[in-house]
Amino acid sequence: MTEGKEQIARLAEIMIRKGIRNVVVSPGSRNAPVVILFSRYTELKLVSVADERSAGFVALGMAQMLNETVAVLCTSGSAAINYGPAISEAYYQKVPLFVITADRPVEWIDQGDGQTIRQHNLFANYIRKSYQLPSDTQTPEYRWYFDRQVSEAADRCVFPVQGPVHVNLPLSEPLYNLDNTPEPQGIRAMGIAQGETRLTDDQLNELASLWNGSSRKMVIAGQLSPNHGLDALVKKITDDPSVILLTETTSNLSGDSHILCIDRVIEGIGSEMDSFQPEILLTFGGAIVSKKIKALLRKFRPAHHWHVNPDPDEFHLDTYKSLTLTIPLTTSSFLFQFAEVVKAATGSYFINWASRKKIRKERHKDYLKQLPWCDMKAYEVLFNGIPDGSHVHLSNSTPVRYAQLFDHQRNFWFWSNRGTSGIDGCVSTAAGSAMATNETVTVITGDIGFFYDSNALWNHHLTPNFKIILINNGGGNIFRILPGPDKYPVMGPFLETAHSLHADGLASNFGLGYFVASDEKQLEEVLQAFYAESQRPALLEIFTPAEASAETLKNYFKYLIS
């Protein structure tokens, strides 16, 4: 047997050829040889995050911001399972993660060795594909197999759609005899040709004829990464009196004519659907936050619903129970083709929506004038005070919902873990994002989400452009807002999980600048100092009253329709 771990060097070289530059590493013995050999490659930047759950989300945030594959690397056993939450988020949000888990050779699984579990295909339901690599590359056959598997794994992170891929890497002992690791010879990294799918002319003409002949068309843009540059294409299709475009902050589309605050506009619309029901619904992008629009369109179904989605794992994604056609193209590829054939129609459909939007905007403004100190008031101040051009991560649960109630005429880029809507990695994801850019990255989080993911702070790589805004309303306020839970006495301890924790101790333990506000005036004053902190990451804790916050939001929707 030759010495060293030649396969690790092969793995590193293929990853580099595939453009993987960042590896988020969690400590362990089985993966130690990988860490040691990877560190010899200047092309690979290793980032250390001890907690694998947080590490997975840090990598997710980096991958999103860089728009490229980021690797994570951990040891064997339960360490690997801790990647689960980030992997499922990356899967549903289509973010490329290259997940490397070190393992024992297959003959040693379930034989009483410590820190050993069945790792092969561990993330079966939430992975583009899993690869079990050979435990050595000593024969030409194994080298051929190894290179092929790793090449395919890296390509599957980005093709046909982006997502997480798992590479299980068995390593035999000795683990630390690495100095004689030979230079890998004859690496064969296969590639994949770039291409785009197009609709046939017949199919395109059929869609154009339906579209151009209809006077009521609705477009809903789901979550889109800020890197997409779709505004101009979208405008070509929506600049039309018979078309209305509904977006959310997380769609990252800009334009004054869109309906951005969906819930505000559609509240109470059911009885007037004659003027608002679309005949054709066109959707693209990822998750939609608004539960109200889903409920509305499931009830008042359009005659045609076309969903643009190239992901074969989500073949007929029928969110509105009205799907008639899946268009298996990327959003830009479809819009590019479609923009060539659409013609503006006449009609009052856009005007109907625009007038309703205007009326509701006035109601919104009136309501805000008389707001007491509460979560909604804090959001109003924040969205006026966060610096222009910032990246804003909206945590689950209510931060991402409050953000949909404001108009955001200012220039923000929005991110949110809406793949699985978990509260378990929102701060870590934003931390990873901030590491990958020089721009300001703010995460707005609730208290339960913050304390849940407090290991996000346990990280030597946190950057001073990273700003955490914590809305501490003493528990999961969402459970006071949702209709239902508040009727039951167990709501407080078991759902809201009410508490009186403060974050100052955590901030000081992890070396963050700490700022605090407990009313509107303090918040306005402190924001500037908070954003001026340039030496270290900063945490702004905003204390808000639980009961008033929930009541204000519930009353907001009543006020809109009164």
**331/477 with CB nearer Mg ion:** 477
**Do 70 and 62 contact (CB within 8 A), yes or no?**
yes
Residue closer to Mg ion (CB basis): 26 or 477 = 477
Q: Please identify, using beta-carbon distances, which residue of 430 and 478 lies nearer to ligand TPP.
A: 478
Give which of ligand TPP, Mg ion, none residue 544 binds (C-beta under 5 to 8 Å, depending on kind). none
What is the Cα–Cα distance from 543 to 503, expressed in whole angstroms?
11
Query: What is the phi/psi pair of residue 256, to 5°?
Result: -70, -25
Does residue number 473 form part of the binding site for Mg ion (CB under 5 A)?
yes
Residue of the chain from 13, 52, 240, 447 that contacts ligand TPP (CB under 6 A): 447
Binder to ligand TPP among 52, 240, 424, 453 (CB under 6 A)?
Answer: 424
Residue 359 Cβ vs ligand TPP, minimum distance, rounded to whole Å: 28
118: exposed, middle or buried (C-beta count within 10 Å: 0-12, 13-18, 19+)?
A: exposed
Say how far apart CA 292 and CA 220 lie, in whole Å: 13
Residue 212 binds ligand TPP (CB under 6 A): no
Which of 186-194, 256-264, 286-294, 391-399 is the region at the interface with ligand TPP (rule: CB under 6 A)?
391-399
Nearer Cβ to Mg ion, position 263 or 447?
447
| Smallest separation (angstroms) from ligand TPP to the CB of 421 | 5
Nearest to 301 by CA among 325, 275, 322: 322
3-state SS, residue 443: strand
Please return the burial class of 463, using the count of CB atoms within 10 Å of its CB with bins 0-12, 13-18 and 19+. middle
309 counts as binding Mg ion under rule CB under 5 A: no
- Token code pair at residue 78: 């339960």
541 binds Mg ion (CB under 5 A): no
Q: Is 396 in the site for ligand TPP (CB under 6 A)?
A: yes
Residue 421 lies near ligand TPP (rule: CB under 6 A): yes
Told to check if 395 binds Mg ion by CB under 5 A, we report: no
Sheet of 513-517: strand order equals 413-415, 391-394, 441-446, 466-472, 538-543, 513-517
Q: Report in angstroms how near the CB of residue 449 gets to Mg ion at its nearest.
A: 8
Q: Choose between 304 and 480: whose C-beta lies nearer to Mg ion.
A: 480
Residue closer to ligand TPP, measured from CB, 243 or 503: 503
Chain mean position to CA 175: 36
Query: How far, in Å, CA of 415 to CA of 121, rounded?
Result: 29
Smaller CB separation from ligand TPP, 85 or 285: 85
Question: Using an 8 Å Cβ cutoff, are 540 and 450 in contact?
Answer: no
Using Cβ positions, the residue closest to Mg ion within the complex turns out to be 446
Nearest residue to 103 via CA among 128, 127, 133, 144: 133
Of residues 319 and 396, the one with the C-beta less far from Mg ion: 396
Q: Which residue, judged by CB position, is nearest to ligand TPP in the bound state?
A: 446
Burial of 411 (0-12, 13-18, 19+ CB in 10 A): exposed
Give, as ranges, the residues between 478 and 537 that touch ligand TPP (CB under 6 A): 478
Dist CA 405 CA 360 (whole Å): 11
Q: Which is nearer to Mg ion, 103 or 447 (CB)?
A: 447
Q: What minimum distance in Å lies between the beta carbon of 553 and Mg ion?
A: 13
CA distances from 88 to 53, 56, 94, 120, 467 (A): 12, 10, 10, 17, 25
In whole angstroms, how far apart are CA 502 and each of 400, 447, 491, 499, 542?
Answer: 22, 9, 21, 9, 10
| Residue 296 three-state SS | helix
User: How many chain residues interact with ligand TPP (CB under 6 A)?
Assistant: 15
Residue 112 φ then ψ, to 5°: 85, 5
* Contact call for residue 396 and Mg ion (CB under 5 A): no
446 binds ligand TPP (CB under 6 A): yes
Return the range that interacts with ligand TPP (CB under 6 A); candidates 5-13, 162-170, 309-317, 474-482.
Answer: 474-482
Of 33, 184, 302, 476, the one binding ligand TPP by CB under 6 A: 476
Picked from Mg ion, ligand TPP, none, the partner binding residue 396 (CB below 5 to 8 A depending on kind) is ligand TPP
Which residues, numbered 128-157, are part of the site for Mg ion (CB under 5 A)?
none
- Select from 291, 281, 288 the least CA-distant residue to 322: 281
Cβ proximity to ligand TPP: between 26 and 396 the closer is 396
Task: Rule CB under 5 A: say whether 477 interacts with Mg ion.
Answer: yes
478 binds, among ligand TPP, Mg ion, none (CB under 5 to 8 A by kind): ligand TPP
Least distance from C-beta 134 to ligand TPP, angstroms? 36
CB 477 within 8 A of CB 375: yes
Residue 449 site contact among Mg ion, ligand TPP, none (CB < 5 to 8 Å, cut-off depends on kind):
ligand TPP
Q: Does 56 bind ligand TPP (CB under 6 A)?
A: no
Q: What are phi and psi of 457, to 5 degrees?
A: -80, -15
- For the bound state, the minimum distance from the C-beta of residue 291 to ligand TPP, rounded and expressed in Å, comes to 13
Residues that bind Mg ion (CB under 5 A): 446-447, 473, 477
Residues that bind ligand TPP (CB under 6 A): 396-398, 421-424, 446-449, 473, 476-478
